[in-house]
Every structure is written in C-alpha cells, then in structure tokens.
Chains A and B, each alone.
Chain A
Amino acid sequence: MWKTTLSVFVSVVLLATFSFVVWVVASHDYRWEALAPYWKNLLSGWGTTLLISVLALVLSVLVGVLLTAGQLSGHRLPAFLCRVYVEFIRGTPLLTQILIGYYLVADAVGWHSRFGVGLVVLSCFSGAYLSEIFRGGIESVPASQWLSARAIGLTGAQTYRFVVVPQAVRRVLPASAGQFANLIKDSSLLFVISVHEFTMQAREANANTYATFEAYLPLIVGYFLLTFPISLLSRRLERRYRYEH
C-alpha cells in the first residue's frame, strides 16, 4: 500500500516538475536568428568534443589500468606513488590542473598543442577516477575465486586474465560508464586553454550575440547525444552479465 502511495507521489512530483521546466523553457521568447551565423561553429565544437572524448576515453582507460596495476603490484614504491597520484588528482580542481598542465608543464617541454595537452590532462584526471573504480572491482572478486584459480594451477597472470578481470569488468561497468559521462562533460573545462570545443563555441556565440539561452540550449542536446549512448550501452552489457549473483 505505502509502496503504491510512494510511487504515485514520486511520479506526480517528477511529472509536474518536468512539465513545468519544459513549459518555462519552451515559452521563452527566443531570438534564434541571432545564433544563425554560429551554427557552423557550434557543430565543429561538438565534433571537437566528440573527438576529444573518444580519444580521452581510450587514454584514460589506459591510465586507469596502469594506476590500478601499480597499486596492486605488491611493490611498495609504485603502490605508494600511484596512491599519491590518485589522491592528488582527485583532491584538486580539474581547472587548475588544465592551467598548470598547459601553461607550466607543457610549456616547459615546449609542447604547445592545446588539443593535445587538453587531451592528456583530461585523460590523467579521468584515469585517476577510473583506477579507483577498477581497483574496487578487482578487490570485489571474492577470495574463493583466487583460491580456486591457485588450486587448479593457474599462474598469477593467468588468474588475472581468465578469472579476476572478466569478473571485475562486469562489476565496474556501471560506475565506469558514469565516469565516461563525467569525462565528456568535464571536457568543457578545456575552454580555459582555448580548446575550441563545444562549450567554448557556445560561450563565444553568447559573448557576440548576448543570446544566452539560444547559445547554451544546444549544449543540452549535444552533450546528451554523447552521454546517452554510453548509458544505453552500459545497461545492455549489465543485462547481459546478470547471471552472476
């Protein structure tokens, strides 16, 4: 009984809020014609965001795997260094990391590609979060599985490859998908080093036209188009792996 009441209540509140927001947004008096000259820029910005997201996604998985390996290596020094790295990255603002990465570190080695540096900083940032997710996934594989693998005579590497990683991957999928969505949205901070990604283009359009909502509304659609497929894919994979209890 209380379950029904609760679900009716939640549905009503959500529907009401949602309708209200849609109504307010839809009934605003837009000047879309002011934005007309900027559509091309917005589209190219979206393309840049897509590209940097895909590349950073791959690179951050690599960083995450290396950090996880370092932490689980059983050797003190790499474990300690990886730990420090992860804590430091997770404990400081991405904005500052991008600024330091581009204007101080990359500058010191003579690298001036905004896109390249942005990609690397973003991957290092997201990789730190992923490594925590991966480590949790590996540690969640029960001791009985390690023991069974030992008992049948698998080596350490074989145990990871055939027993631990396949089970860990299924467990980390939802959290990793969430982190990938964050990564896509976080890429908007690359405006501080003038990478011409999606958000940067919207900011410029706004600055030139003062058509604030017209410039920023496309971001909703654009980012959702990038994050929603990840969410869908993650759900599908989760369903496929549901045999484990």
Chain B
Amino acid sequence: MSIEIEGLTKHYGSTRAIDGIDLAFGDAVKVLALIGPSGGGKSTLLRLLGGLETSDSGSVRIDGAAVPRDEEGQRAWRRRNGFLFQSFNLFPHLTALENIVLPLVEAHGWTRDAARARAREVVERFGMGDHLAKRPAELSGGQQQRIALARAMAHGPALLLLDEPTSALDPERKAEVLDLVEELCRAGQRTVLSTHEMGFARGSADAVVFLSAGKVVESGTAEEVFGAPKSETVKAFLGKVMRW
C-alpha cells in the first residue's frame, strides 16, 4: 500500500483538526498506526482517508488514486474500503447477520444468498457463529465490535480503517477485538488504525505516526517511534501512557 499525503488540512471553524500534513509510505507498510493525545487529529485523518470527510486543501493518494472530493466519488471510495468506529457501529433494529448482509446486498450488489453465506463464513471465523440471530442490544460491547469488524471487512476492503476500535471496551474485551485485528493484519489486510493500545501498535504496525494538534510530530517504523523517540512531546506522551 502506498500512501501519499501532501499539504493536507481540515479545519472545523477555528479548530485546525488537520493542519498541513505531509506523509509518504511505500508498499512495505501494510499496517499503519496513528497515535497521540486526544484531539490530536487521528479521527479526522482517518475520516479523510476513508472519504467520510472532504479536506480543505491538500491531497491524499492511496496506491496512486486520489481520494475523491465529490459525494458520488466518495461513496464509491467508502464502498471500496471498510470503516470501524469506536462504538455504535451496528444498526440496532437488525440482527448481527442482517447488519453484515445489508451493505453486501445494497452497496455491493451481491445476491442475498451470497451475502448470507459470506456473513456466516466471516462470523464463524471470528468465533461468533452462535450470535448471528441476535440484535446488537443482546450482544456485549466486545461482541458488537467484532460483528462490526466483520461487517467492515466482509467485502474484502482495499483499506481497513479502524478508529480506536477498542477504546470503549473493558480491558478483557479489548483483547477479543485486538486479536482479530492482528489476525487480519497478519493475513495481509491493509489497515490504518488509531489506537491508545501502545503494545498493539508496537507489535503489529509497520509504521507509526504521532499526531498532535493536527500536525505530524513524528513518524517512522514502530521501533523508531517507540524505541528511540526524537521529540520531547512523544517522549513525554509515551512516558505517561507506558508507565502503567
């Protein structure tokens, strides 16, 4: 996966959520982790990468293709990729199975049978086969996130975008989801995720970007950023989050 970001900005009123970012990663980077303090711009950058938001200026290219700026083009872009938010991903009126089938049928044009078969296959693989007929309210937070992850990757997304996928979960539930994410990454799924799970970022990401106040403070391999951080900001941040 190649990602080229040039002069990217996104402002909300007077808040500079993304404030002139330049980044470039080559094919060797399959898994990219965004870390940094809350409000640093991680979610905004993910939404820009995923075509859920339009930048004010600058460009994002993934494998040479620019993220579209028009609604129609962005919709096609969103269909090609997969997105997972921190929480409230699922539709409460649909069962787990229907949640996964809906986009396959309506956004990707699969037949209902093919979509059902695929949903079953993914959910079995995620160890959730018994929960297909349940609605989100009958699932734990971790189970909901796993179903949502199944939905985000069932169509084989070019890029999987995960925005703090475990932040809303209890510690013992985080592992359930992170194990799956790691398994997907191992299997070659190209992924960009924001996370506060430093152990996970260090162990699974090929590259790490530290964002603060809408700017890239530091970027490099996981070993570079975690092993020998250059900037004081990153040192201080890592010092704090790694202490406990």
Q: Which residues of A contact B89 (CB under 8 A)?
A: 144, 148, 151
Q: Which residues of B contact A166 (CB under 8 A)?
A: 93
Number of A-B residue pairs having CB atoms within 8 Å of each other in the complex: 63
Q: Which residues of A contact B52 (CB under 8 A)?
A: 147, 150-151
Partner of A243, one of B90, B92, B107: B92
Q: Does A29 contact B (CB under 8 A)?
A: no
**Cα–Cα, bound, A153→B106 (Å):** 9
Cβ of A153 and Cβ of B88 under 8 Å apart?
no
Of the four ranges (under 10, 10 to 19, 20 to 34, 35 or more), the interface on chain A belongs to 20 to 34
* Docked complex: A162-177 residues within 8 A CB-CB of B: 162-163, 166-167, 170
**Cα–Cα, bound, A26→B50 (Å):** 72
**Cα–Cα, bound, A154→B71 (Å):** 12
Q: Does A152 contact B (CB under 8 A)?
A: yes
Q: Which residues of A contact B90 (CB under 8 A)?
A: 148
Partner of B137, one of A144, A147, A148, A244: A244
Q: Which residues of A contact B50 (CB under 8 A)?
A: 151
Cβ of B102 and Cβ of A142 under 8 Å apart?
no
Q: Does A208 contact B (CB under 8 A)?
A: no
Of the four ranges (under 10, 10 to 19, 20 to 34, 35 or more), the interface on chain B belongs to 20 to 34
Cβ of A163 and Cβ of B91 under 8 Å apart?
yes
Partner of A153, one of B91, B107, B137, B138: B107
A150-B78, A243-B135 as given contacts; A142 in contact with B88, CB under 8 Å: yes
Q: Which residues of B contact A163 (CB under 8 A)?
A: 91
Q: Which residues of A contact B126 (CB under 8 A)?
A: none
Q: Which residues of B contact A167 (CB under 8 A)?
A: 91-93
Per-residue A-contact encoding for B127-140, CB less than 8 Å = 1, 0 else: 00000000101100
Q: Does B42 contact A (CB under 8 A)?
A: no
Partner of B83, one of A142, A151, A241: A151
**Cα–Cα, bound, A245→B139 (Å):** 12
Cβ of B102 and Cβ of A151 under 8 Å apart?
no
Q: Which residues of A contact B108 (CB under 8 A)?
A: 153
Determine chain A's interface SS by DSSP, over half rule: helix
Cβ of A162 and Cβ of B102 under 8 Å apart?
yes
Q: Does B116 contact A (CB under 8 A)?
A: no
Q: Which residues of A contact B79 (CB under 8 A)?
A: 152-153
Q: Does A209 contact B (CB under 8 A)?
A: no
Q: Taking CB as reference atom, which chain B residue is nearest A149?
A: B91
Q: Does B25 contact A (CB under 8 A)?
A: no
Cβ of A245 and Cβ of B137 under 8 Å apart?
yes
Q: Taking CB as reference atom, which chain A residue is nearest B78?
A: A153
**Cα–Cα, bound, A163→B87 (Å):** 17
Cβ of A148 and Cβ of B91 under 8 Å apart?
yes
* Docked complex: A205-245 residues within 8 A CB-CB of B: 241, 243-245
**Cα–Cα, bound, A162→B90 (Å):** 12
Cβ of B75 and Cβ of A153 under 8 Å apart?
yes
Q: Which residues of A contact B102 (CB under 8 A)?
A: 152, 162
Partner of A170, one of B75, B91, B93, B152: B93
Q: Does B151 contact A (CB under 8 A)?
A: yes
Per-residue A-contact encoding for B42-61, CB less than 8 Å = 1, 0 else: 00000000101000000000
Q: Taking CB as reference atom, which chain A residue is nearest B138?
A: A243
Cβ of B107 and Cβ of A244 under 8 Å apart?
no
Q: Does A158 contact B (CB under 8 A)?
A: yes
Most buried by A among B79, B106, B108: B106
Q: Does B68 contact A (CB under 8 A)?
A: no
10 contacts between A and B (CB under 8 A): A144-B88, A144-B89, A149-B91, A151-B52, A151-B85, A152-B107, A152-B151, A152-B152, A154-B106, A243-B138
Residue numbers of A with Cβ under 8 A of B are 142, 144-145, 147-155, 158, 162-163, 166-167, 170, 241, 243-245
Residue numbers of B with Cβ under 8 A of A are 50, 52, 75-76, 78-79, 83, 85, 87-93, 102-103, 106-108, 135, 137-138, 151-152
